[in-house]
Structures are given as C-alpha cells and as structure tokens.
Chain A
Amino acid sequence: MRREILEEAERSRRHLSSIFNDDPEVVIADRRYGFISGVCKKVVKRPPTERIALSDKIDQVVLHRTLGIPIFLLLMWLMFKFTFAVSEPPMGWVEEGIGWLGDKIGGLLPEGSMIQSLVVDGIFGGLGSVLVFVPLIFTLFFCIAILEDSGYMARAAFVMDRFMYKIGLHGRSFIPMLLGFGCNIPGIMACRTIEQERDRLVTILVNPFMSCSARLPVYLLLIGAFFPQKGSTMLFLLYLIGIGVAILMAKVLRRYLLPGPPSPFVMELPPYRVPTLRGVIIHMWERGVLFLRKAGTVIFGVCLFMWFLTSFPWNPQYNKDYEGLIEEAQKAFQLEVTSVAEDLAVAPQQLETHEGFSAFLAVQKEFDARVEGLEEESREAEAASRWRQKQLARLRQSYPGIYPLFLKYMEAKTKRDERIRDLERERAAEKMQRSYAGALGRAIEPIVKPLGFNWKIGVSLVGGILAKEAVVGVLGTLYAVGEEAEAPLRQRLINDTWPNGSRVFTPLVAFSLMIFTLLYAPCVAAIAVIYKETNSWKWPMFALFYTTAIAWIAAFVVYQGGRVLGI
C-alpha cells in the first residue's frame, strides 16, 4: 500500500515536472516565497531608501580581501595572549591549592601506606595536573563565546574558507584547528559547528596533530638538553610539522576514507550584535562544565590505573636488602655519635644538650631553616652560607676543642643522609622497574627500540597517553636513580647509557622523541571526547592507531635516516 502511494507520488512528480518544466520542489518553494513576500509587503513598512547597515560597514573592513586574514590573526593572537595572561595567576592558585590540600590530606594518612600513596600520588598527583587547566579553559571559552555571540566567528570562517577548501577541509574547520593549539579537546568539541558529517569527522581526526600546549613541557625539556642554541627554531619546526601532517592527512582521509563532494559552504553572515554578559557566561559555563565532566571522569580513572601500574606489586622481591642497608647506615652513624660523645665525656643521648656542642647544632639548625626552599647558589643561599661561617668561626673561638668534633659529627650525618636518600631512590627505581609499568616498558621496548628509545622512554610514552605532559613526569620518576639524582632531569637524560655504555640520548634520539610525542595517540581525554562527539568507539580507536602508526613511521624515518646520514 505504501509503495503504491510512493508510485502515485512519483507519477504526480513527473506530471508536474512536465507542466512546469522544473522540479516540483522549486515550484513549491517559489509559491511559499511568493506567499511570504505578499504578506510582508502588506505588513511591513520600509524606509524609502535602506541605508547601509552598520554591519555591512564593519564587514567591508573585516572581510577585506587582503586585510581580512591579518585582522583575523591579530584577533586570535590577542585572544591567546589575553587567555594566558588572565588565567596564569588562577592556575598558580589552583596548583598551590591542590598541592596544599594533597599535603594536608596526605599528612593525615599513615606514612608509607597504600592509601597515602593512592591519595597523594594517584589522585592529587594525576587529577591535579588536569584541574590546573580549568582556569585556562574557562577563560578561552569566555573569549570564544564573545567572538561567537558578536557574530565575528562566522566572519573568521568566511575569511579562511578559501584556504581551508584548498587543503580539503571546510571553512568552519578552521576554528577547531586553531583551538587545537591550545588543547585538542575544545578543538574537537568545536567541530560541532561543521554541518557536514564527513568534514566534521576529518576535522576531528586530524585535530590531534595540532600541537597542544600539553606537549610543550616535553619539547622544552628535550630542547633544553640537546638543542640549547636552536630552541625557538626547533619549536617552530615542530609546530610546522604538526600542521603539515594535519594537512596531508586531511587530504588523504578526505580522499580515501571519507570520499564525497566537498560540501557547498553557504556562509550565513549574521548581523553584528553586542554580546550580552549573561549569554557569554552561559556559553562559557556550558562548555566548561562539559570539559570538566568529560575529561575529569576519564582522567580520574586513568590516574588510578597508572598509579596501580607503577605501584604494584606493592612489595616486590628486591635485588638488595634496602631495609637492612638503611639500618646499617643508621648504625654507622650511631657509632660516630658514640665516639664524638665519648670525646666530650657524655652519654650519646646527652650529646644534643651538651653545653658547647648544642651551640654548634643550633647554628646548623638555624642555617638549615634559612636555606630551606632556596635555590643552590642563589644570593640568599650564599648569604646564609656566609652567616653560618661567621657564626661557626665565633663558636670556634669559644670552644676550640669542640669544633673538630662538630665537623666529624656533621660529616657522618651528611654521609648517612645521602646514603639513605640514595638507597630510597634506588629502591623506588627498582620498584618501578619491577612494577607492572616496568614490565610493560620491557614489553614495548622492542617496538620503540628502532626509534632509538629505551624502556623508560617507552613507559613515559604510555604515560603520555594519559596526558602528554606526563611524558616528562614519568621520565622524572624513572630517572630518579642513584648518585646523580641531585642533577636536573635534563642532565640525567644526557648521562643515561645503554648497557653497552653508549649514550641513550643523542640529539637525534631527542628529535625522534619529540616527533613521536607530537604525532602519536591523542591523550585519553581527547579519545574520550572523540568518542562522545562521534558516538562510536570506531573513530577514537581509529584515531588512536593511525596517529600512533604515523608517529612511529615518522620517528623511524628520522632516527634511522639520521643514523644512515651519520648524525
């Protein structure tokens, strides 16, 4: 029956088409517009000559052939500048607040317990690094809401349309790509404004190549260590490579995976309007809360998971008896204390209350308090050091016999402290090595070795899927080993060697690692957002694997190519 109706309708369509010599759709639309224009003529009184509206005047400047793009870039630059300037202090507050809260709560929990580790390392350490970005994201959304509500965003897309069309994307793809430089999450979310599904998907899929701000710490660490002279050039190069790969992949995906005619871009240019504060705040709030909810829940889960990976097995079988060695160090120190006390003819317990000796200890205590939190070799630290020398010299005159004993005592104490610290670091490193994360690292080492990476880099890259900044954090934990632990992470990377004695990190490896970090897997929050935005697991999984594959190939070409060229 339904089919008969359809056939009847098709007959009618053909019949009408032949009468009107046009598609019935067009005729129907014409009649509707005719009706409307008739109504409007009757009810609307127009001014005799319509003056050029203010909107049109602004458009003559903003949409200008040559001025349009510079004006747009300037506005974007101002927006980023404003966002970073405004959100920097609150980001500091959030960071401090979370650190303070983590300390307080950690202090309430039993020292060294599993629950303390979970709360301090897992929850505050991981989640805190995400919450820090909240002020930045709200400020950015605030600015974007203003640009949108005023009607400018539509113009920006209009201005960029020709360029974007050439690279196989849509005019409206431009804003999401731009946002990707800040963070891929708002970038991917902004793809909602792209009406055509194919264009939207491609823009989502290439967005992770836009180098987000979370990747900056990784670049800064490696550039600082291996390209100190060419910092800004390297950084600029990395951003360019990201853009280049995005353009290339957009073309490839559009051609082979999601082929179809480019969608016509009929740009609606709404009249300019002064945005209302209420509207802007509501827009900002809606998106900001979505970010918190989507990214927050996922990141929370993965933080717990990464904590589990790095913390378990909780009590592994160690190579060395760390507890015993620490106790030995304590005993050795006690022996020294006893010998000092004997020289002063007091019991070891009374050493700290001995009249002359306690005066030296008081100076040392005051000095320790003064330098706490100061940077080594800073002016304040030097001043404190001079003060200590002066005080000690004064005491030396009063108690010439005690001074050498004090030095002996201090030497023993420093030795003990360093020994215990080294042992604890070594234990932490061994624990990490024996943890599931360590096992994972060894499992992936064969995969990353052709790129010049060792297992530690491999694990840090796995951690980086949680959030790209985590690459630096995980490297920091993994490299917290042994006698060089005092040196900055930069130095420790430079000093690390393979078992055969050759250096792990060379400028070539560092570059390969930066390329890999730039291109590989979107972070979990971005993956979650891609899932939300496409409503299927197909696309986030595809994004995860194809970006990682490209990253691997690119890093492989860089590393192996560099070796062949003898770099």
Chain B
Amino acid sequence: MDKKILVALAGNPNSGKTTIFNNLTGARQHVGNWPGVTVEKKEGTLRWGDYLLRFVDLPGTYSLSAHSIDELIARNFVVEERPDVVVDIVDASNLERNLYLALQFMELEAKLAIALNMMDVAESRGFRIDVQGLEKFLGVPVVPTVATKKIGMEELIRAIIATASGSGKIGVKIDYGEEIETELRKIEDLIRKEPSLSKYPPRWLALKLLKGDQEVKKLFEGGEG
C-alpha cells in the first residue's frame, strides 16, 4: 500500500511556486476551481518510492489575513484539510518579506517545510544565506532550491516526506511581549474549554481575535450560545 501524503504548496506571488509545482508534478496535473469561488485550484501527484504525494497549489499570497479570497482559500485549506505538510516557497532574494507568510503557517500549527527558492538570484545579488542558521531559528526544515534549473527538488521531496512522518515540529513561537501574551493566555484558556473549536489551534484563534479578524469573529458569532 502506498503511503499518501497531502502537501499544500504555499508562497508569495512570484516566489516560483508554480515552477516548483510543475517540476514536482509534471503533466500529472488537474485544474479545477476552489469550491464556491472561481479561483483556479491546481492539483498534481508524484509517486516517490512507497509514497504517493498529492500536491495542492494554494493561491499565492503575502499573508493569511482574510483580506482577499486568495488569502482566505489558503488559510481555510490549511485549517480545514489539515495537509500533512505545508511547503512554503520563499524567495531567497526577498527573504524578509517572504518569511511573514511562513510565520503565519507556524502559528496555524501546520507542519511546515520551507523551500528557499531562487538561491541563484539571491547569490547573484551578493546575498549569502546561512541555511542551517535559518533552520535553527525557525525550527523547521529549510531546503535551498533553484526551481528554474530544477536544483534541490529531490532534497525538497525528502524533506516533505521526513516532515510528514516526523514528530511534527511546528516551528518557533514568537514572543509578542508580556502585555499581549497575558491577554493571549486568557483567551486561549477560554477557547480550550470550548470543544466545538478543537480543530483550530487555540493560540492562533486567540491571536486572530486580538487582531479583530472578521472571518474568525464569525465563528464566534454563530448560534450556539
């Protein structure tokens, strides 16, 4: 029997996500729409030894706040479908901005692996990135890749499989400072007591409530008293 792994590919627009998706799945692609909306949903598969990897290409976004359909789709997929691995494709030449999305996946407690893509561009601009250091600080596997030249694809697949079958590190936890953390704990405790919310990471929900996220607020405004 094949071991099935559901992988969500995420990343900022223009991070090379589509190229990586094409590299990994080749012609085994299926294009459809996300349910209820008209944003394209691409899926593809890859057989690797005993594993059958199913890739879902999430819309390219800069963040997971619910400001656009794309962001909402990406977020709901991770929350509702709980993919075995989320691969965040990060533009190495634009690391600061790209890592914002990675942090949000960590807060969603997704099993994350980072593809540090466009390493060639970063190097040609004179950036030198300490990959091991990045892995250590973020607490998730980081694989350097050059999607256009298909460099690092095998390493990425191995990292995906290792992440899927591993203990499930959820990455670093950001310290928001004493004031915010106190409020977060208070709300988190309340959320933990509410069984109907168990599928959501409590800290994430609490953060969203503090931020005043409209979509998350709807969860709480709904019926049951």
Task: Find residues 265-303 in chain A having any chain B CB closer than 8 Å to their own CB.
Answer: 268, 270-271, 273, 276, 278-279, 282, 286, 290
Which residues of A sit under 8 angstroms from B180, Cβ to Cβ? 16, 24, 27-28, 31
A192 in complex: contacting residue of B14, B36, B38, CB < 8 Å: B38
The yes or no answer to B39 lying at the interface (CB within 8 A) is yes
Which of the segments B3-11, B80-88, B207-215 contacts the partner chain? B207-215
Contact assessment for B38 and A534 in the assembled complex, using a CB-CB cutoff below 8 Å: yes
Tell whether A276 pairs with B100 under 8 Å between CB atoms, given A8-B187, A31-B176. no
Which of the segments A36-44, A375-383, A520-528 contacts the partner chain? A36-44
A183 to B205, CA, bound (A): 46
B126 in complex: contacting residue of A13, A20, A47, CB < 8 Å: A47
A27 to B193, CA, bound (A): 27
The yes or no answer to B46 lying at the interface (CB within 8 A) is no
The yes or no answer to A535 lying at the interface (CB within 8 A) is yes
Contact assessment for B13 and A8 in the assembled complex, using a CB-CB cutoff below 8 Å: no
Contact assessment for A35 and B103 in the assembled complex, using a CB-CB cutoff below 8 Å: yes
A15 to B183, CA, bound (A): 9
Contact assessment for A39 and B36 in the assembled complex, using a CB-CB cutoff below 8 Å: no
Knowing that A27-B176, A28-B180, A50-B126 touch, tell me 5 more A-B residue pairs with CB under 8 angstroms: A16-B183, A36-B96, A44-B130, A268-B14, A271-B14
The yes or no answer to B50 lying at the interface (CB within 8 A) is no
The yes or no answer to A46 lying at the interface (CB within 8 A) is yes
Contact assessment for A1 and B194 in the assembled complex, using a CB-CB cutoff below 8 Å: yes
Task: Find residues 125-171 in chain B having any chain A CB closer than 8 Å to their own CB.
Answer: 125-131, 133-134, 137-138, 148
The yes or no answer to A490 lying at the interface (CB within 8 A) is no
Contact assessment for B137 and A43 in the assembled complex, using a CB-CB cutoff below 8 Å: yes
A286 to B42, CA, bound (A): 10
The yes or no answer to B37 lying at the interface (CB within 8 A) is yes
Contact assessment for B191 and A40 in the assembled complex, using a CB-CB cutoff below 8 Å: no
A532 to B33, CA, bound (A): 10
The yes or no answer to B93 lying at the interface (CB within 8 A) is yes
- B51 CB to closest chain A CB (Å) equals 24
A273 to B183, CA, bound (A): 45
The yes or no answer to A567 lying at the interface (CB within 8 A) is no
A151 to B15, CA, bound (A): 12
Contact assessment for A271 and B93 in the assembled complex, using a CB-CB cutoff below 8 Å: yes
Task: Find residues 183-225 in chain B having any chain A CB closer than 8 Å to their own CB.
Answer: 183, 186-187, 190-191, 193-194, 196-197, 206-207, 209-212, 217, 219-222, 224-225
Which residues of B sit under 8 angstroms from A430, Cβ to Cβ? none
Contact assessment for A282 and B137 in the assembled complex, using a CB-CB cutoff below 8 Å: no
Contact with B along A33-69 (1 / 0, CB 8 A): 1011101101111110011010000000000000000
Contact assessment for B190 and A44 in the assembled complex, using a CB-CB cutoff below 8 Å: no
Contact assessment for B126 and A46 in the assembled complex, using a CB-CB cutoff below 8 Å: yes
Which residues of A sit under 8 angstroms from B224, Cβ to Cβ? 1-2
The yes or no answer to A166 lying at the interface (CB within 8 A) is no
Task: Find residues 518-567 in chain A having any chain B CB closer than 8 Å to their own CB.
Answer: 532-535
Residue of A at shortest CB range from B183?
A: A12
Contact assessment for B129 and A2 in the assembled complex, using a CB-CB cutoff below 8 Å: no
The yes or no answer to A9 lying at the interface (CB within 8 A) is yes
Task: Find residues 335-351 in chain A having any chain B CB closer than 8 Å to their own CB.
Answer: none
